[in-house]
Amino acid sequence: MRQPAQKFASLPPIHLDRASTRLADRVRRMSGTELRGCYQCRTCSGGCPFFQAMDYGPHGVMRLLQLGQLEELLTCNTIWLCVGCHTCSACCPMAIDIAAVMDALRRLALSENAKVAEPGVLAFHREVLRAIESYGRTHKLEIMLRFKAGQKQWFQDFDVGLKMLAKRKLPLLPSKIERPQDMKRLFNKHPRHKQRGIGGNL
């Protein structure tokens, strides 16, 4: 295996230009947080519970952003594995809301039609939104059934589902709001999350 230093030595140099500055400005506006303060102390990645599963830790995303690496940012799995627990945002010595940066990049990835590194996560989010649109609240049983079916993972977590059903933790019928028309109206104004097929072939 090549050493990281060699790997990076063979890559062409990054030229910072107007486009990279514009990207940083855009993400700064979307996230409402100041990115330039990041000096790569890596406290965020040290605290992130999902670091090991990520392409880049949160500190890597911040660096890519400063270097204007749009494509790398929008296609990395980091922005989809971030659950918004805010451990990074709470620990950052420069008070950068790193989780808000992840939110901004995820939305940018959707609006730019970037390849989604974790289609399963996106598919799950869409099932949740679908339930909210129908009932005004989430309905775990339906979300999980539709999600597992969409992923063709019919039997994964079958045992977990049965255990939860036995403990009556998965009500069969959804808890609904009394004015479902409220949700119809709102979701009709926000069709953005539905633009592409559920989960796959992105």
Q: Does 177 bind other proteins (CB under 8 A)?
A: yes
Distance CA 45, CA 60 (A): 8
CB 29, min distance to other proteins, A? 12
Interaction between residue 190 and other proteins (CB under 8 A): yes
Which residue's CB is nearer to other proteins, number 144 or number 202? 144
Nearest by Cα to 98 from 38, 54, 19: 38
Q: Which lies closer to other proteins via its Cβ, residue 60 or residue 148?
A: 148
66 makes contact with other proteins (CB under 8 A): no
Q: Least distance to other proteins from the beta carbon of 149, Å?
A: 13
Q: Which of 14, 26, 186, 197 binds other proteins (CB under 8 A)?
A: 186
Q: Which two tokens stand for residue 33?
A: 């947080």
Binding string, residues 133-152; x marks residues near other proteins by CB under 8 A? ---xxxxx--xx--x-----
Would you tell me which residues interact with other proteins (CB under 8 A)? 32-33, 49-50, 53, 81, 83-87, 89-90, 95, 97, 99-100, 103, 106-107, 110, 118, 120-126, 128-129, 132, 136-140, 143-144, 147, 156-157, 160, 163-164, 167-171, 175, 177-179, 182-183, 186-187, 190, 192-193
